[in-house]
A and B are shown apart, each in its own frame.
Chain A
């Protein structure tokens, strides 16, 4: 939607304070089929209306669309008003991002951390966008490093390779955040056929220069450095080189990324024995990390069955890390749920929450669904995640959290005082109904008068109802009320809360 007439239209139609553009996509209705029952997947969807509107965005606002049209609308509205924005691809979905302040990009209409930018200066990852933002926020250093890189090119053309090499080093010392120059420097190394020591030095410099930007660093290392550096090494040497990177990991840097892909790549470079050593070091180094621990555990459990030696070692490590002193897979799963799964929930990592939660659900028997009638649409809570206030309180049992969201059933308990139980849904949803299954017993009154609130971003909330009376099942019929949300929560300011199920039905809007 970038033609001149579209931009002029959007400049007038959607002109908002900068942070609000993350909601601009919702100016258009989400419709998989237009009013003539033609599918959005076919060219017939917009065909009847071509030529009827002043601009494409006007047509989308009137006729509708799905995630691609909505995200393009949101991003284009921002761009039309001079605010940087871009659409992004996520699994089965199109999202977008807006630069909501001078130094912050915010994902919009987003479902997953697994995203790739549709527009990028260097690589198309979110982390590379963060790195690019950090790099170009210092124009003086960009200029200085750029000048040095041009000097390096000139020296190379004159045949003075050693001076050129030194100039490259200076360029990256001047501004280690310049991804483009790291790539150019690696290309220099390839052109001039540098030896393993050179590449080792390159790795050292890169790990320092791109500290805090692990994903872009990994991209350069795996694509340009390691293929040359590891080529003539034996497994033991390879392992040492790769462990150097593992030990350098601190946190997600620019955001959660596909570190599992990196681990898989490293695995393939090694024989079986060294694979085990790699896993051992990774586990020791990372299992307690709130960032890397959860995905590492899921990755290990996917690689090794709990009955295998490696699987048992993994569970043992989890127990050891938890300091629980207990034994067995059950204890390990409980610890997983109490640590890694809650970490994942806090970070909005739905996949990891689901993976660990499903495993942990084997520790409890399913509850009957008797008395629960579904609402129209999909059970969109089932594939989401749960957040419970008062993490680590003595009444809670995180291993039962996953079941709360679906047919299995579960249990959770907040801490005393102001409390909430929040569900992050699988998709943006037009909610048709909510069922909350209360705990039985003398404390069931605690749910009474809880507010039911919704949010599209997990940060700003709107109350849409409340739980009235002391009931076993609270049923909120929201069909036709057009409440659209990615998050739903029950909240109360005066006492703790506890539920067995928190089920949300609705129609997908992403």
Chain B
């Protein structure tokens, strides 16, 4: 194919210029237009940011780096001094680059632009390692992703030119999932190419930020429009297009709406738990679990016990988030009272599949003077579907913490 060899030649010619002197934004832009290539701009601060300068000097200006990035390299130097000859010179050199809307969030940053001047993506902050070798590898990967963006953009244009909607749609979606900047017309394009959203792309890609969805539902419920929120969010759940992470957000939003809708505590608890199950390690999944435990669930290792947990004699607490499987070994359950006059405990039990395996009889009263008790479980063989109970003998409602130690 002609394309890769032309590209290689171009990369060589671009890299050839790189070794001589660093290229300003405007000269990089001109070259990028001339060669129809990507432009990578390193934004750094020569008078205040040592790592940025090392990145600039030891990586950015390295001969082979330009070839590896497969594009034009330029830099913008943002000085810390606010006036003087150096500042004037830097401003003149940086002319053509505007900070507002550039995607710059922190320093140093690498911004990628298409030959048309569209921001393709950025690599900065926690995504850019502060070790030179790792930073170089990350930037090369970033360059490859941007190159893929260019290939897809060309493919989308070709498909559009011949009216191949399926190919165009495939390209648009593939480009949107690269993890780079979204096209300004992404949703509009998907709507045009797949009006009925058969593939579910529009649903997935138009999904709002989780805080927005949750706040909207919560505000509606608080305003007495819980049924509207319920209808809309249940409609979303009925759509199989959403990812498990997105479904987790919808459950959290529903749970929050129900929470603020009088008489719907049970539904709130269900949906908070559903959020936790849908995507247990995400922000919304963790929030769902913690909200369930805090507002509706029983005592837990995560949040302890609170005043709403009954302490009647002859009853017991089931610890909500006890480990499900246990290997042989010795384990300690520690309870520590933080508030309340006293809590009387008669013992603790470890169950497996609903059957008591270890029954510890240990009567104790937790008070301000003596707030802690520990139960030691010696497990001789592996257990599955385990649960923990704390046996109660009355006392006062209060608060406390629980921990499980191997």
Contact = CB atoms under 8 A, between A and B. Distances in A.
Whether chain B is bound by chain A comes out as yes
Interface string A18-49: 11000000000000000111000000100111
Interface string A424-468: 000000000000000000000000000000000000000000000
B128 interface: yes
A260 to B, nearest CB: 36
Contact of A19 (B82, B222, B294): B82
B283 A52 contact: yes
B291 interface: yes
Interface in B244-294: 256, 259-260, 282-283, 286-287, 290-291, 294
Interface stretch (A7-15, A166-174, A320-328, A379-387): A7-15
Contacts of B79: 17
Contacts of A49: 283, 286-287, 290
Contact of A9 (B78, B126, B282): B126
B218 to A, nearest CB: 5
Contacts of A204: none
Interface string B76-87: 001110100000
B78 A53 contact: no
B106 interface: yes
Contacts, number: 70
B207 interface: no
Contacts of A37: 218-219, 222, 256, 260
Nearest to A51: B286
Contacts of B222: 37
A241 interface: no
A14 B125 CA distance: 8
B78 A17 contact: yes
A51 B126 CA distance: 18
Contact of A36 (B45, B105, B214, B282): B214
Contacts of B48: 17-18
Given A16-B107, A36-B218, A44-B294, A52 B49 contact: no
A287 B237 CA distance: 72
A14 B256 CA distance: 32
A301 interface: no
Chain B interface residue bracket vs A: 20 to 34
Contacts of A48: 286-287, 290-291, 294
B126 A47 contact: no
Contact of B214 (A35, A44, A54): A35
A328 to B, nearest CB: 50
B342 to A, nearest CB: 24
Given A15-B49, A37-B218, A47 B80 contact: no
Interface string B319-362: 00000000000000000000000000000000000000000000
Given A13-B106, A14-B106, A35 B286 contact: no
Contacts of A362: none
A12 B128 contact: yes
Most buried by B among A36, A49, A54: A36
Given A12-B106, A17-B45, A37-B219, A52 B294 contact: no
A47 B294 contact: yes
Most buried by A among B106, B259, B282: B106
A50 interface: yes
A205 interface: no
Interface in B79-104: 79-80, 82
B307 interface: no
A237 interface: no
Contacts of B45: 17
Contact of B256 (A15, A17, A36, A62): A36
B6 to A, nearest CB: 38
Given A35-B215, A36-B256, A52-B283, A47 B290 contact: yes
Given A36-B218, A36-B291, A49-B286, A16 B260 contact: no
- Secondary structure at the B interface, as helix, strand, loop or mixed, is helix
B211 interface: yes
B130 interface: yes
Contacts of B210: 35
B80 A17 contact: yes
B106 A15 contact: yes
Contacts of A14: 106
A62 B211 contact: yes
A34 to B, nearest CB: 8
Nearest to B260: A37
B124 to A, nearest CB: 8
A14 B106 CA distance: 5
Contacts of A51: 286
Contact of A18 (B80, B219, B282, B286): B80
A63 interface: yes
B94 to A, nearest CB: 13
A78 to B, nearest CB: 13
Nearest to B215: A35
Nearest to A77: B106
A15 B290 contact: no
Nearest to B285: A52
Contacts of A47: 290, 294
A294 B303 CA distance: 55
A311 B152 CA distance: 81
A37 B283 CA distance: 17
Contacts of A53: 283
A312 B265 CA distance: 67
A335 B355 CA distance: 89
A431 B360 CA distance: 63
Most buried by B among A9, A44, A48, A51: A48
Interface in B32-56: 45, 48-49
A328 B110 CA distance: 68
A32 B125 CA distance: 28
Contacts of B219: 37
A49 B291 CA distance: 9
A205 B78 CA distance: 48
Interface string A369-394: 00000000000000000000000000
B126 A63 contact: no
A18 B45 CA distance: 11
Given A18-B48, A37-B260, A12 B290 contact: no
Contact of A15 (B107, B218, B259, B260): B107
A250 to B, nearest CB: 30
Contacts of A16: 106-107
A52 B282 CA distance: 7
Given A12-B128, A37-B219, A19 B80 contact: yes
A61 to B, nearest CB: 11
Contact of B286 (A11, A36, A52): A52
Contacts of A36: 214, 218, 256, 259, 287, 291
Nearest to B222: A37
B268 to A, nearest CB: 11
Nearest to B217: A35
25 contacts: A9-B126, A12-B125, A12-B126, A12-B128, A13-B105, A13-B126, A14-B106, A15-B49, A15-B107, A16-B106, A17-B79, A17-B80, A18-B48, A19-B80, A19-B82, A35-B214, A35-B256, A36-B218, A36-B256, A36-B259, A48-B286, A48-B294, A52-B286, A54-B126, A63-B211
What are the 4 A-B residue pairs with the smallest beta carbon separation, nearest first? A48-B287, A35-B215, A17-B80, A35-B214
Given A36-B214, A37-B222, A52-B283, 13 more contacts: A11-B130, A12-B106, A12-B128, A17-B45, A19-B80, A35-B256, A36-B291, A48-B291, A48-B294, A49-B283, A51-B286, A52-B287, A53-B283
